[in-house]
């Protein structure tokens, strides 16, 4: 097993090829549902292999893809270059350090990683400090169902059951960091999108 960076969030390893695409066949629709708008300056936080970064780049003015795993960023860069996307900057960094290199973002997106964050209010404060006034933070999370109840391609998928967070738990952590919860959207079959505003 490959050693992870010291600040790697627990339970956020990228899925194997195949089932991720089945689970998220239309990532652009997810981004529209969580209110990414054209001409926004966006951040894909814990961007992984770029599955959401590509449609984000096609919708937003500029995108910053942030991940602590250099191999994942390399995979994302190769994927986006294959699709001739040129409005993305890549940053290998700890998510808690976001305000050190991102300011005045309109939209910060975090998919399938918040459940593994050790200090969630701290991360929410970092996001708040990287957003412009009125900017939005969207978290896409697995519903807190037993892992055995969230199969994709016939196998249980997603984080361990004990890592999953309810909407209420996510909201409490993020509002403790100084952001306001404004909406929650359903993202079938197994996710929700929680939207917060600075």
Domain annotation covers residue 192? no
Domain annotation covers residue 62? yes
Domain annotation covers residue 7? no
> What confidence score (pLDDT) does residue 155 get?
92
Residue 127 confidence (pLDDT) above 90? yes
Contacts (Cβ under 8 Å, ≥6 apart) of 30: 24, 52, 111, 140, 187, 193
Report pTM. 0.93
Strand, coil or helix: what is 70? Answer: helix
Domain annotation covers residue 14? no
**Rounded Cα–Cα distance for residues 174 and 180 (Å):** 8
Its sign, for the CA torsion 145, 188, 43, 65, is positive
**Rounded Cα–Cα distance for residues 13 and 113 (Å):** 9
**Could you tell me if 174 and 45 are in contact, meaning their C-beta atoms sit under 8 angstroms apart?**
no
Question: What's the N-to-C CA distance of the chain in angstroms?
Answer: 39
Range of the structural domain that residue 40 is part of: 25-186
Domain annotation covers residue 193? no
Domain annotation covers residue 77? yes
Residue 37 confidence (pLDDT) above 50? yes
Domain annotation covers residue 96? yes
Give the CATH number for residue 47. 3.40.50.150
Exposed, middle or buried by CB within 10 Å (0-12, 13-18, 19+), for 181? middle
Domain annotation covers residue 142? yes
Higher pLDDT, residue 16 or 140: 140
Q: Give the model confidence (pLDDT) of 151-178 as tens digits.
A: 999 999 999 999 999 999 999 999 999 9
Tally the domains of the chain.
Answer: 1
Provide the 10 A C-beta neighbour count for residue 121: 16
Its sign, for the CA torsion 101, 104, 106, 111, is positive
């Amino acid at each position: 097993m490959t050693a992870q960076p010291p600040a790697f969030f627990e339970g956020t390893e990228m899925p194997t090829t195949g089932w991720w695409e089945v689970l998220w066949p239309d990532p652009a629709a997810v981004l529209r549902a969580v209110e990414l708008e054209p001409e926004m300056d966006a951040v894909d936080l814990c961007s992984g292999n770029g599955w959401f970064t590509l449609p984000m780049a096609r919708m937003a003015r500029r995108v910053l893809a942030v991940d602590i795993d250099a191999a994942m960023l390399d995979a994302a860069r190769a994927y986006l270059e294959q699709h001739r996307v040129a409005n993305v900057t890549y940053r290998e960094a700890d998510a808690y350090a976001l305000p050190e290199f991102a300011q005045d973002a309109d939209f910060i997106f975090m998919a399938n990683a918040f459940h593994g964050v050790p200090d969630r209010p701290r991360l929410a404060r970092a996001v708040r400090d990287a957003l412009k006034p009125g900017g939005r933070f969207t978290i896409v999370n697995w519903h807190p169902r037993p892992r055995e109840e969230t199969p994709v391609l016939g196998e249980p998928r997603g984080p361990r059951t004990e890592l999953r967070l309810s909407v209420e738990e996510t909201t409490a952590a993020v509002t403790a960091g100084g952001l306001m919860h404004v909406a929650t959207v359903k993202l079938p079959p197994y996710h929700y999108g929680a939207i917060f505003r600075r």
